[in-house]
Structure 1
Amino acid sequence: MMPLRYTRHDARRWAAFSGDYNPVHFDKAWVKAQGGSALSVHGMRALLDVKHFISPQSAGTPYLKFTARLRRPLWRDADYILWRAGKKNAAATVTAAADELPCLACQLVPASKLTLPATESQHVLESDELATLQALFASLLADARRWHFLDALLFRHLIQDTTLLRQQSIAALLPPCATPGALFQRYPVVQTHQELLFDSRLLAPWQPDASPQALTIDTLTALTVGDLQQGMIVRIAAATRWQNLPIGSAITLKVGPVAA
């Protein structure tokens, strides 16, 4: 088990890397206006610690699949416990210290193949920007694995991608916004799930590269269910290859009222 507690400092450092300035994490007045009561922790920031907690040294399968369900928000400046799920080294649960209720659960399992949705657009992350992001990430997680860094990069890309919300499946249902990050400023958005597929060789230790090569990131086809009035579900996805080793991430978001 491992104790977890996240502060404003943690929120600012994750936002500086990812670009996720969703007001549910920073603006208590905004949260209250939407019917909420407290500031929540970035789901992907908490998952970063969980992924590190369950990450094995190696795997006997070519690919791995990570899945996470975020059941309840984690609140700022509150105490939580990260547990291994039973005897499974690659599964974990985070519970609130106060009431022991589960907040998120995840597992890392073998996968025989890696299948991703179609590519809608591409973005090249140039060497100088990638070097800057490496330095920011290094302060977030000690002893990181390659998949931890690439996973975080894919999330950052999705938050800042200017092509994502122009996909037909999304554009027909949402008002014009440049990026998902801009959408956060207009509507309450919370993460509910993540699914990650990657080459098991990305379990190797990660080290910042002084002169990293440019990285091409694919924005994949998004899926949507529902509408803004009833609560809309949006599944966004991205993928990349690091030294020809693939990794793809799908994030499920709920666009709708903040739970009290």
Structure 2
Amino acid sequence: MTPLHYELSDARRWAAFSGDYNPVHFDERWVRAQGGEGLSVHGMRALLDVKRFISPAEAPSPWLKCTVRLRRPLRCNTTYSLMRDAGRRVAATVAELPAGQPCISCQIMPETVFPTSANASQSTLDSTAFMRLQQAFTPLLPDAQRWHFLDALLFRHLIQDDALLRQEAIAALLPQRINMETLFVRFPVVQTHQEVVFDRGLLANWSPHAPAESLIVETLPALVVGDLRQGAIVRIASRTRYQNHAISNAVTLKIGPTTAQ
């Protein structure tokens, strides 16, 4: 068993990299007004440690798929256990202490194909911004693999891409002229699942390098079920290629009243 414990300083460092300033992680008064019990840990921040814990050094298949389920939030200033799942290959669970209720489950499996989708929008992350993000990521995860960094980078892109909010499926869901920061304040937003598919070449060790390259990042069409009044489920996804190795990141969110914890 490996203990996991996160404090507000961890939230600040992850938000400085990702731009995820969702008040569920920072504003206890806001959380309690939504029916919550206290500040929760960024799911993606905790998953950095979970993914490093189970990542293999190599793989026989050309592609790998990492699937994540976030069952319940981790609380700030609380210790949890990170354990390998003996019943599944390359899998782990984060559980509460001492009851042992699972909070996060994560598994890496062989995959045969890389997901494709039409109608993706493109944006460019220039070399200067890419280098800055490499430097910001370095203290978050020692001994990272390349896919860990790119996974985090694609998540950052998703929550900062204004073009995502202009997609027809999402624009029909949200009030007009709303941005991500306002969305987080007005409506509870909680991540429930993630799926990352990546080239096995991205299992190589990661380290910042200069000069950094530019990246073309694609945002894929979102899938939306439900509405804000009853609670909506939204799946957003992006992908990129780094040194000819592809990776995609799909995140499922609950938005609205059903997300209160």
Q: TM-score, normalised by structure 2?
A: 0.96
Amino acid at match of 1:86: A
Q: Deviations over 1:64-115 (max 9, x none)?
A: 0010000000000001000100164510000011321000111000001111
Amino acid at match of 1:23: P
Counterpart position of 2:225? 225
Q: Name the SS of the counterpart of 1:169 in structure 2.
A: helix
Cα distance between partner residues in 1 of 2:56 and 2:119: 30
Counterpart position of 2:199? 199
Q: Which moved more, 1:117-126 or 1:233-242?
A: 117-126
Cα distance between partner residues in 1 of 2:171 and 2:154: 21
Counterpart position of 2:260? 259
Counterpart position of 1:173? 173
The alpha-carbon deviation at position 179 of structure 1 amounts to 3.8
Cα distance between partner residues in 2 of 1:189 and 1:156: 15
Q: Deviations over 1:119-142 (max 9, x none)?
A: 431111111111111011000000
- Distance change in 2, residues 1:35/1:189 (3 Å): same
Amino acid at match of 1:15: A
Q: Is the 8 A contact 1:160 1:181 kept in 2?
A: no
Counterpart position of 2:23? 23
Q: Deviations over 1:28-51 (max 9, x none)?
A: 111111111200000100111111
Q: Which moved more, 1:114-123 or 1:90-99?
A: 114-123
Q: Is the 8 A contact 1:158 1:180 kept in 2?
A: no
Q: Which runs of 5+ in 2 are unaligned?
A: none
Q: Is the 8 A contact 2:4 2:82 kept in 1?
A: yes
The alpha-carbon deviation at position 117 of structure 1 amounts to 2.6
Cα distance between partner residues in 2 of 1:173 and 1:38: 28
Amino acid at match of 2:133: L
Cα distance between partner residues in 2 of 1:5 and 1:203: 26
Counterpart position of 1:42? 42
The alpha-carbon deviation at position 118 of structure 1 amounts to 2.5
- Distance change in 2, residues 1:119/1:212 (3 Å): farther
Q: Deviations over 1:168-220 (max 9, x none)?
A: 11111111355434311211000000001010110000010121111110001
| Residue 190 of structure 2 is aligned to residue 190 of structure 1 | yes
Q: Is the 8 A contact 1:41 1:73 kept in 2?
A: yes
Q: TM-score, normalised by structure 1?
A: 0.97
Counterpart position of 2:114? 114
Counterpart position of 2:84? 84
Q: Is the 8 A contact 2:188 2:260 kept in 1?
A: no
Cα distance between partner residues in 2 of 1:246 and 1:202: 8
Cα distance between partner residues in 2 of 1:245 and 1:216: 12
Q: Is the 8 A contact 1:164 1:179 kept in 2?
A: no
Q: Name the SS of the counterpart of 1:197 in structure 2.
A: strand
- Distance change in 2, residues 1:198/1:177 (3 Å): farther
Cα distance between partner residues in 2 of 1:212 and 1:59: 27
Q: Is the 8 A contact 1:79 1:98 kept in 2?
A: no
Q: Which moved more, 1:112-121 or 1:176-185?
A: 176-185
Identity %: 59
Amino acid at match of 2:260: A
Counterpart position of 1:3? 3
What RMSD, in angstroms, separates the aligned Cα atoms of the two structures? 1.2
Counterpart position of 2:103? 103
Q: Is the 8 A contact 2:144 2:206 kept in 1?
A: yes
Q: Which runs of 5+ in 1 are unaligned?
A: none
Counterpart position of 2:248? 248
Amino acid at match of 1:41: V
Aligned length: 260
Q: Name the SS of the counterpart of 1:185 in structure 2.
A: helix
Amino acid at match of 1:48: L
| Residue 253 of structure 2 is aligned to residue 216 of structure 1 | no
Q: Is the 8 A contact 2:92 2:106 kept in 1?
A: yes
